[in-house]
Each structure stands twice: as structure tokens, then as C-alpha cells.
Amino acid sequence: MPSPEAVRRLAGTPRSFTAWALAHGLQRAVIRRGARKGDLIGRMVVEPGLREDPFPAYEELRAQGPIAANPYISASVDHAVCNEVLRSDAFGTAGGQGELPKPLQRLHHWAIQDDTLGPVDPPSMLAVDPPLHTRYRKQVARAFTARKVGRMGDRVEQVASALLDDLDGATGFDLVERYASQLPVTVIADLLGVREQDRPRLLTLGNEAAITLDPGLSWKDYRRAEDALRELHTWFRGHVEDLRAHPGDDLLSQLALDDGPDRLSPVELHQVGLLVLAAGFETTVNLISNAVVLLDQHPEQVRWLRDNPDGWGNAVDEVLRHQSPVQMTLRVALRETEVAGKTFAPGHGILVYLGGANRDPAVFPDPDAFDVTRANADQHVAFSAGVHYCLGASLARLEAAVALRSLYERFPDLTVSGTPQRRPTRVLRGYEWLPVSTRASVSA
């Protein structure tokens, strides 16, 4: 006899297929057709080489003007346009899949199941607009005030030191597995009351589910990500029950016990908590690994930072600009509006290429050069802008600055050894495997 879980999965397959077809299948067919005809926007999604190195394609897109377009969607790598779209209340996420006609949106919302909701499905903060977004953000923002993030500094230092102690004496290791992922997942797990024994599995599941951020997934990839999401929701349900029985002083305990007028429903709590958990390490692990590769290519800048440790904050912003951990996001026109002389009808989507905007020569002179002393590095849009500006941006900056400074203090001769392997994602840009050699270690 099949297990109850297997029965539920089989029963949900038609709905799963419908959800995939509307969110990815139709999109995949259109993208691939356009790419075959040479459409640059489609090629940027389909071609593996443009995932590995998208920057030449960004410049091709820039040459088409502030806003490029095909018959189905627009796109921009222009810093001013991207900033305007991200900040404008005329654009939003439109409740997820906002580029679909309304009847298909409603069908998708019916098809998606509560135990497979992903980061771009309502009621995730990534998929809703004000006033709903405002309500969710208010609930979470209490954990990310400037005062609270400042107090986390000592904890981040402590975690970095402990991880480096475990590596002392090692001559080589995978930086992603042993350090870049471990630091942010430990910090965010503290914030959400996650037990230490649960963290490795959550890292794995989070990585498997993160692919749902990408456009045009195959049915096979979608099902694999759906399995990870189902397991994440099952874990989260039990975790919330534990916190209600044994609350701590973490954010999730506060949200789970809140009985005020703005309290979150069980589905809302799942989506908010899982998004904070995933976003809390996805951006930072990519940021740290991208930084190590860039610094390995520019050893003179490592030497400068060693002599000028106050420069690590600006160095982090330059990494965010040069190799943005999140390369793109989608916005949909909520009403008829005009940007850069182009009229957008309601429901028309625009791909905002954050990674391209961050190399706009109109804002960043010699934009392809990596320079930790760049005066305006912090003008990047790597954390988005407007109402969807990343809540954890200040924490991510703090974690990365501490992680990198501590790493190079402990291992001043750190180098990349072998060929790093990039993640197979297009929205998230970072490394899945990053072999490093310490050559000679220095005791703490």
C-alpha cells in the first residue's frame, strides 16, 4: 500500500502540473522560441554560457537603449530606469505571476498548494504588494532595526571565529561548505530559533528550492524543487509547534505567539518565516563566495585591505555591485504608466537586471573593473530599492564584512585552488563549490 504522503502527492499531481504549466511551462515555450529566433532576452535565460558570464549580454542589451523589449516582455540594465521601476508604485509584483491574464492568475492560485508554496508565491513578501506587503514587512522589521543588527556584531564575530577554529591547520577546503554557508545559516537560525541539528538539512533543502526563483523551469526541475518545498513546509510546521510550546526570544517565537490584530495566519507565518530563513543565507553565502574569487583575482586589493581594515565595508559594497548575488527581478505594471518614453499597459512585465544596472557606465566609471576603494560603490541596486528593498541588507553587509576580514586575518595566504563551480541558477549568482588553499595558516 502507498503511504499517505505518496497518496497526497499523486492526488496533487494534476494541480502541480497546472501550477508548473502556468508559472513556467508557457513561459519556457515562449522563451525558448524567442531564443531560437535570436531574441537576446530569451537567450539570456536559455544559453548556459550567458549564465556563466552574463555581462557581455548586458552590454548588448544596454546598446538597445534604456528599455529593450520583445513582443512579450521588456527589460532594462539602465541604472536610472531600474531604480525608477523598483521605486515606483505604478509597478509591483501583482500577487505573483502578475504578467499572466487575470483568469490564468486565478487558475494558478488555485493550482498551487499550501505545502508547496515557494518564495515567489503569495503570501511571500516577494510576491505581494502594499498594503499586504506593508503588513508582513512590519511584522519582520522588528528583528532588523539598526540597533538590533548592531548588537548582532559580536555574535557574527563569535560564529566566524568558531568556524575558523575548526579550519585551523587545514591546508585546503571547500569554502562554500565549510565557511561561506555556515556563517549566515548559523546567524539566521539563531534569529528564527532553529536547532543546530536541523541546519544542515535546511541548507540542502533551501538550495534545492531556490531554483524556483528562475524563469522557465523544466517539469523535472520543478518537481524536484516542489519536493524540497514540501519537506521545508513539513519541517516548519513542526518547528512552529515546538516554539509555541517552548518559546524563545527569537523573531519566530514572537510571530508564532502574536495574537494581535496583525497576527499572521498559519500560511502567512510559513511564507514569512521560510522567506526570512532562505533570504537570510542565500544572498550572504553568494556574497562571501563571490568576494573570495574576486579578491583572489586582485591580491593587491587584499594587501590594501589588510593595511586598511576599515575598508571592508566598502569592499563588500563593491562585490555587491560587481557580482550581484541576485542578478534580476521582475516587476509588472499595475496601471498604465510611462518610463523613459515607453508606455506600459497594466500587466506588462519588465525584467530589472540588477547585475546590469550595477555596471552602468553612466553611474560607475570603468564599471567592469573591481575596485574596493570605489567612491560610489554603495550606489548599487543589489538589494533592490523601494518597498521591496531587502530587509536584511544591513545584516548581510555586516556578516560579509566580518566573515571576509576574519578569513583573511586567519589565512592571509588564502588562494582559490582548482576551478570553482557556479550554481546552476540564473537569478542567484554565486558558487556551489569553491576550493581554496590556505598555504600557511596563522593561529588566532
Of 350, 388, 387, 347, give the one whose Cα is nearest residue 105.
Answer: 347
Q: Where are the domains of the chain?
A: 4-437
pLDDT of residue 404 exceeding 80: yes
Of the given ranges (19-23, 229-233, 305-309, 364-368), which has the lowest mean pLDDT?
Answer: 19-23
The pLDDT confidence band at residue 442, using thresholds 50, 70 and 90, is very low
The pLDDT score that the predictor gives to residue 280 is: 84
Residue 193: name the closest of 147, 231, 240, 230 by CA.
Answer: 240
At 408 the pLDDT is 97
Q: Minimum mean pLDDT among 254-268, 349-363, 409-423: which range?
A: 254-268
What integer pLDDT is reported at residue 109 of this predicted model?
A: 82
Nearest-Å Rg of the Cα atoms of the chain is: 22
Which pLDDT belongs to residue 120? 86
pLDDT value, residue 11: 44
Q: Which three cell numbers stand for residue 248?
A: 524563545
> What is the average per-residue pLDDT within 333-349?
95
Domain spanning 4-437: CATH 1.10.630.10:
yes
The pLDDT assigned to 76 comes to: 98
pLDDT at 14 over 90: no
Provide the pLDDT for residue 394. Answer: 95
* pTM (2 d.p.): 0.93
**C-alpha to C-alpha distance for 333 and 298, rounded to whole angstroms:** 41
Q: How far apart are CA 343 and CA 325, in angstroms?
A: 30
Structure confidence at residue 345 as a pLDDT band (50, 70, 90): very high
Closest CA to 283 of 390, 187, 402: 390
| Residues making up the chain, counted from first to last | 444
**CB crowding 84-115: b at 16 or more within 10 Å, else e:** bbbbbebbbbbbbbbbbeeeebebbeebbbeb
The residue among 203 and 421 whose pLDDT is bigger is: 421
Residue 6: band (very low, low, confident or very high) from pLDDT cuts 50, 70, 90: very low
Of all residues in the chain, the percent with pLDDT exceeding 70 is 95
- Kindly tell me if the per-residue pLDDT of 444 is higher than 70: no
AA identity, residue 19: A
pLDDT at 106: 84
SS3 string of 236-280?
HHHHHHHHHHCCCCCHHHHHHHCCCCCCCCHHHHHHHHHHHHHHH
Mean pLDDT over the full length of the chain: 91
- What is the rounded average pLDDT of the residues 420-441? 90
> What integer pLDDT is reported at residue 169 of this predicted model?
87
Supply the pLDDT for residue 308.
97
- The residues, ordered by sequence, that sit 6+ positions from 259 with a Cβ below 8 Å of its Cβ are none
Q: Evaluate if residue 27 carries a pLDDT over 80.
A: yes
What per-residue confidence (pLDDT) applies to 186? 94
| Confidence (pLDDT) at 12 | 55
Amino acid at 441: S
Q: What is the pLDDT of residue 103?
A: 85
